[in-house]
Amino acid sequence: MKIEDLIERAKLDVVKAVGESKSRQRKWLKRDIDSYKSRKFRIRVLVLEGSEPRGVIIVNYYERMVQAFDAYGEKLSQYVLDVEQLKEHDRRQVAS
């Protein structure tokens, strides 16, 4: 599993919370911020567009954490990439 998989899960959580089938067709606006001018400390913010933002996802690459929030700031979900899963994923990449 990769952090991108967790981001997709969080997107589904936001879309589900919005309760609109049209939401899947809305665009996700994305902004990457590199703290300390290092990709190691990258934060990604995704916003589900709308006349009012429909939801927000915050990705912390350093902590390997993805958090989803609704339009009112209520936390919908939080996913953390397990270090052991990450090590296994890296081993598979090296082996192939």
Alpha-carbon separation of residue 77 from 14, 31, 35, 37, 38 (angstroms):
9, 20, 24, 28, 27
- Encode pLDDT of 81-90 as tens digits: 987 665 554 5
What is the structure's pLDDT at 87?
Answer: 53
- Encode pLDDT of 5-48 as tens digits: 999 999 999 999 988 665 557 899 999 999 888 989 999 999 99
